[in-house]
Structure formats: structure tokens, C-alpha cells
Amino acid sequence: MADEKKFAGYICTGCGIGERLDAKQLQSVMTREGKIANCKQHEMLCSAEGVKLIRDDIDAGNATHIVIAACSRRAKVEAFSFTDVAMSRANLREGVIWLRPEGDEHQETTQEMADDYIRMACAEVKFLKVPKPSGEQALNKTLLVVGGGVTGMTSALEAAKAGYPVHLAAEEGRLGGVWADLYKRVPFRAAALGVPNGRDVDLPQPEDPGIDAMIAEIEASPLITVHLNAKITRTSGAPGRFAADISTESGGTVTENFGAIVQATDFKPYDANQLPEFAYGKTPDVVTNFELEKLAKAANGGPLKRPSDGKEVKSVAFIQCAGQRSTKPGHLPYCSGFCCTESIKQAMYFKAQNPGCDTTVLFDDLRTPGAAGEDFYRSGQQAMVTFTKGKASEVVSAGGSLKVKFKDLILNEDTEMEADLVVLATGQVPHVGPDPYAQLAVDMAETEEEKAAARKKLEVAPPSILNLDYRQGTDLPQLKHGFVDSHFICFPYETRRTGIYAAGPVRRPMDMKQAIEDAVGATMKAIQAAENAARGSGAHPRVGDLSYPSFRKEGCTQCKRCTVECPFGAINEDEQRYPQFNESRCRRCGTCMGACPVRVISFENYSIDTVGQQIKAVDMPDEFSEKPRILALACENDAYPALDMAAMAGERLSPFARVVPVRCLGSVSLSWITDALNSGYDGIVLMGCRRDDDYQCHFVRGSAMAAERLSKVGDTLQQLNLEVERVQVFEVAITDIKRAAQLINDMAATVEKIGMSPFKF
């Protein structure tokens, strides 16, 4: 029969496995208990000869489901890439012998540990299927880039250079975006080497912004279609088959299909009207850094003049962090990153174009990130720009001049200075749509008061940019301060909407150079997304995974937990209000599976059974053996790698621990906890990604949702007369090498203190 399952097992004795473990016993466990009759040993399974041994069995039709007992599933991925069969791997190297000390006194428990991992792998493989691509979309190479600024233009040009057609939609009537009126830009390079005669030479200077050249290149490209005065009025579909309505100011609308989308809407300048203490709006001689660019461009190399009377500026003061890095209402709590170098550049305008101009930069902290960086700061010093460490408190307009009051932070005294012109270094506000979770709050509110509060918040929200036809809102979800992102450490550009990538200052504050680099990265990811969608393959972090969720409709209670909790908006609802899974939006995290209370959601290669059967397969000693069993469910993205590295570093792990990797802590079903306790496990440790300010869950919300679900497990344990300490949830970073193993060892110590589980009786 074509669908007949044929099981085969392969045990590696290399890397010290054969010296530390009884390979014959492992083979016996695999054949007798695991029911895998076709079982072979090899001294180096990852070698060409070992791989051929496995491949020959597959090609001969003798193996459709294989167990490889060797190293961690994270190791030798290329060697053991058998995509045409279902495969489970027993981690005997990092998971056992590298975590256990040598010596006869440890041999028995070390062997028991390895035997259990064989049992678990055999149990898992029986419930695995070979995923097949959905085939729902063909390759669509056309990309949509939303935003006509430097970031968007760069994205369009990079895609075209790679041979991918682009539609570039700009809401303005011209390309260039917020930088369209830029006179010069901060240089993209550091200083040249060499300092002859003790003087700095060839320090970086302000340069032509190159925006006109970019526009000309876009207009000349046959692969780029530009839509000016355009808005995206509707976006539907998924990677490989997005459909977007592009509406222009004239009233016309065109619908185009795209493989992927880049949102490069950059930022809007901070509204300086919220800074009355600096006299903005009271006198035209107080301008923002963006307004100064227009003055400089109009001067075109000549002297810069005051807006009020056209008088040549003889003294200018730059106030850094204007409305930024402040907790005052209406201010930006973050640093916009580009302002200090912009002020240095603009101060150099005055030194070059207004001879003898007294130019002062008032700063609390001066930050110069980017390639030019410190060298550009030295350029300002060499141009005789004055840098004063002071905190401005007020600007007073009187008698045709301006008085800047500030506290001199070096002398620790209040003072003031006169200036013809004051420039406020204002920051970047991300140009985004409304927060989707604010939109969802209206639907999820339980009382009229809560609904009213949620609606009030939406009233002041910005208009939608993408107008997504998603159940979970019209725009990209936001993380902090309104910036959109999915994972700022591991997967920049990836948003929580698969196939839609954020680039430039919409993602985080940045300067032009960083925005250009960001656009290149996001465009490459968008190309990858379009190509992956055509293959039916998942996106980061499970690139290459062809599985996607399915559900047993007759068992569904329509509780909506899967549609609400999916971090990526991959699940809609059909007309009968059943979940409608969209495989190319799916990241394969399994959060929907963990959320389902009736356990009807599964993947072909990851399900309630693939993990549940591993948990039940462990040999459970009785209470008199003094050998407890501790279950560790470890996220495959951070916790499991940390344990592997702990093994490499020589850390030690309790011989009573049994580690099961899971896709995400959000995929953990409470049934696994129940089954483990009923099976007699004495302690359970769950380890997911960190989710603090400096780190993120790889699937964005998995750890948070798991913590919420598991917060009530303690009540259940108390009802069962079990100690709450028996189930613990931790957040682990991939760098927590010592801590990852210690958390499991701590549980072993806890079990020793509180005793074995009474469920063993």
C-alpha cells in the first residue's frame, strides 16, 4: 500500500556515544519497546557512508518514518536532511553524555536517560506525517512598497536590481518623503586614515543627499511603477497572493497582486507646537531641524537668513532633545538617534555660509551613531562649532532677538545666551496606522464602559495605512512607542503579519544611512517571502517547514481562542464562524494548538500526540526507587539551544530530567501538563523565550500567552493536593547557558525536598 508506514531506526556510536552508552541495549529498546524492527548502528552516522545507509533504505522503499539516535536535532541538519520521510531524533550526545559526568556510579542513570530518549523518539515518529505544500499559490515576484521616501525608494530600486517588479505607492505628490527638502546629508563614511602634521585631515563633511539621483533612477527603471498621491485602501490575501487596492487622489483605483509587501512609510517630524516653552509658533525665528533644511536649500549655498526679517544670521543656538527623552505628556520618551549628527551638520552650514556666525549646540548627551560618528563630531569641532553641555529651559522673544535660558551642566549654574535664530532638534514619530490591538479591544470589551474607553482611544488614532482585511486589525501591530516590529534581535524587518516587512524609521528611530541599509534587508526578506510562499514553506524562524495547521471541524466549539491568540493574524473565520486557517500567513508556532481547549488543532509534523506520546513513553520508576522524573518542555528557539550549549560547556544536568523541545511555549497544551502529572512526573519545568525590554519571544507573544494560560495551574495543583512548586515556568535567553541547566537541577532539588508525586502510587 502506498500509505503504509515503514519504520527504521539508526543509532550512531560516534562522538563518544558508543563508549559511554550500551548501544546494544539502545537497539533493544528501539526494537522491543519502540517496535522498530529495522534498526541499525553506525560508527559515524553523519558521515557520507552513514547518510548513504539511511538514504539507501529510503530509496529502496524500506523506510517512510525514521528515528535517528545521535546528536541534537539542531546539529547536522544538512547531513540529516531527509525531507521525503517523517523523522524523529533522539538527542544522545548533547542531551545525555555531554550533560552527564563519567564514572561507574553514574552509568546506570545515564543509560536510563538514553533509553528514555529512544522510547520518546520512537513514540513521536509514529504520529508524524510528511508535510506537503498546500499549493495554494504560484510564484508572484511583484512586490508592493508603501512609502515614497528614501527608505521606500531604496527598497524599490533594490528589488528591481534583483529582477523583481515593484509598485511604489507614495501618499505625497512627489518622491522623497520627509527628506525631499534636504539640503545636504550626514556623510556615510568615516574619516580617511592618516593624520599628518598632527592635524585631522579629510574629516567627513556634509554631502549631496542624492535624492534627485534616486528619483531619476526610479523613473528610468522599467520594473518600477510609481503611484503618487496614492493610498492603499484595501489589502487582502497572504504571502504569494496579496491583493491591494491602490487609490489615487484623482479618485481612480487599481487592484494589483503581490508576492510580498514592504512598509517603508518612514516617520513624521515631531510637532514642535507642543513646545511652547521654546517660543515655537510665537516667533518665526524658532524653527525645527526639518524647517532649517528648507531655509538652507532656499539659500542654495548663500548666507542663511532669519525668517522674520531676512537678516543674515549672526548667532544660532541648537537645542538638542527638544521634546525628546522626556516623560512629560506629549513628549517622546525615546532618543531619535539622528538628531545630534543632524545638528552638527546644520551648524556646519552656518560656519560655511555665514562667515563669523556664532554657532552653539546645547546638549545634555551628544550621541553620534553611524559610520561618520565621532569623526563627524570632530568635523564640527574643527569648523569651530561650540558644543555646550547645558539643558535649555526656555526661549524668550524680545526686541527682535531671542534669549535662550539654560542650565550650564558643567558649571552647575543657570545662565542665558542671545541668538538670532534657534533650531529645535525635534525627533521622529513613526508614520504608522492605528494599533490593531486597540481595534480588537473594542470587540473584546465585556462592558459598555470598556467599549467606550476603547472607542475613545481609537478616535485619536492615525488613519490606516495598509487597510488589511485581517480579523486582527487593519495595520501592523506595534511594539513600543508606536514602532512596528516583530523581533528586533533575531529577525529585524519581520512584522507580525507574515509577508509584510517594515523598513526604516517606521521600525525604529534611525538616520538616512541606517534607513537605506534597513530597506535593503527588508527587501531581501520580502523576496524570500514571495519565493517561500510559492514553495509552501514557512517564514522565520521555521524556514523550510511545509506544515500548516488543520482542525477537526466536528470537534470545534467555536470558542475563538485560536483566532484571537494567533500572534500573526493567520486565522480568520468563515461564514459559519469556524476558524479559517491561512497557511502562508502561518509561522508554524503552534500557538493555536496550545490555545485550543478541545485539542482539535494539529500540524502534520507537530501535534498534541507527537509531544503527548513522548511524555507518556518515558519509563516511570515507582516511588520506592528514589528516581524521580522531571519533565522539561523547552522552547526550540532559545531554551533548547541553551541546553545544548550547556552540554558543550561541560555543565551537568540531573539524570532524572527528560527534555522535550517544543516550537514555542505558546504551543504548550495544558493537556501535556495534566498527562505528565497523571503519568507520575514529580516536577515540570517550562522554559520559553524572554519577553522583557531587551529581548523578545521569537513568536512575539508565545511566552506571554503561555504565562497567562499557566497562571491558573497552581489552583489546579492545589485542588489535586499537589504542591504548586511542582510546575514552574521560566523565561530563558539563548545565552543563559548555566542558568538553563540549573533551572532543571533546581527542580530536582525541590522534588527531593517536597518528596515524590503521590500520583506514582
Looking at the structure, tell me whether residues 520 and 568 fall in a common domain. no
Residue 661 bridge partners (DSSP)? 634
What pLDDT does residue 718 have?
84
Looking at the structure, tell me whether residues 579 and 675 fall in a common domain. no
What pLDDT does residue 401 have?
86
**Bond before 187 cis per omega within 30 degrees:** no
Instruction: Look at residue 454 and tell me whether its pLDDT is greater than 70.
Output: yes
pTM comes to 0.91
**Residue 454 belongs to a domain:** no
Looking at the structure, tell me whether residues 657 and 678 fall in a common domain. yes
**Residue 647 belongs to a domain:** yes
| pLDDT tens for each residue of 331-355 | 999 999 999 999 999 999 999 999 9
Looking at the structure, tell me whether residues 417 and 404 fall in a common domain. yes
**Confidence band for 661, pLDDT divided at 50, 70 and 90:** very high
**Confidence band for 362, pLDDT divided at 50, 70 and 90:** very high
CATH number at residue 728: 3.40.50
Q: How many CA atoms lie within 13 A of 521 on its CB side?
A: 15
Instruction: Calculate mean pLDDT across residues 183-208.
Output: 74
Which residues lie below 8 Å from residue 454, measured CB to CB, with a gap of 6+?
Answer: 438, 441, 442, 445
3-state secondary structure of 613: helix
| pLDDT tens for each residue of 57-114 | 999 999 999 999 999 999 999 999 999 999 999 999 999 999 999 999 999 999 999 9
**Residue 451 belongs to a domain:** no
**Residue 466 belongs to a domain:** no
Looking at the structure, tell me whether residues 418 and 298 fall in a common domain. yes
Q: Which amino acid is it at 75?
A: A
Rounded Cα distance, 29 and 181, in Å:
73
CATH number at residue 332: 3.50.50.60
CA 69 centroid distance within chain: 33
Which of 430, 447, 464 is the last residue before a domain boundary? 430
**Residue 455 belongs to a domain:** no
For residues 488 and 6, the model is more confident at 6
What pLDDT does residue 70 have?
98
Looking at the structure, tell me whether residues 122 and 204 fall in a common domain. no
For residue 194, how many other CB atoms are within 10 A of its CB?
Answer: 8
What pLDDT does residue 631 have?
98
Which of 430, 461, 496 is the last residue before a domain boundary? 430
* Beta strands 253-258 and 242-248, pairing class: antiparallel
For residues 369 and 290, the model is more confident at 290
Which parts of 71-218 are beta strand (E)?
86-91, 143-146, 166-169
Poorest-confidence range of 140-154, 315-329, 362-376? 362-376
Looking at the structure, tell me whether residues 163 and 79 fall in a common domain. no
Rounded Cα distance, 673 and 759, in Å:
13
**Residue 737 belongs to a domain:** yes
Torsion sign across C-alpha atoms 6, 7, 13, 18: negative
State which residues form the domain around 502.
Answer: 143-266+476-535
Rounded Cα distance, 260 and 142, in Å:
7
For residue 62, how many other CB atoms are within 10 A of its CB?
Answer: 12
Instruction: Look at residue 489 and tell me whether its pLDDT is greater than 90.
Output: no
Looking at the structure, tell me whether residues 289 and 245 fall in a common domain. no
Looking at the structure, tell me whether residues 147 and 118 fall in a common domain. no
Mean pLDDT score across all residues of the chain: 93
**Tally of structural domains, the chain:** 5
- pLDDT above 90 covers what percent of the chain? 79
Which of 82, 102, 130 is the last residue before a domain boundary? 130
Looking at the structure, tell me whether residues 277 and 402 fall in a common domain. yes
Instruction: Look at residue 727 and tell me whether its pLDDT is greater than 50.
Output: yes
| pLDDT tens for each residue of 673-713 | 999 999 999 999 999 999 877 778 888 888 888 888 888 88
**Residue 743 belongs to a domain:** yes
CA 578 centroid distance within chain: 29
Rounded Cα distance, 669 and 683, in Å:
17
**Residue 282 belongs to a domain:** yes
Looking at the structure, tell me whether residues 384 and 279 fall in a common domain. yes
Which parts of 105-156 are beta strand (E)?
143-146
Looking at the structure, tell me whether residues 291 and 382 fall in a common domain. yes
3-state secondary structure of 293: helix
Instruction: Calculate mean pLDDT across residues 174-196.
Output: 83
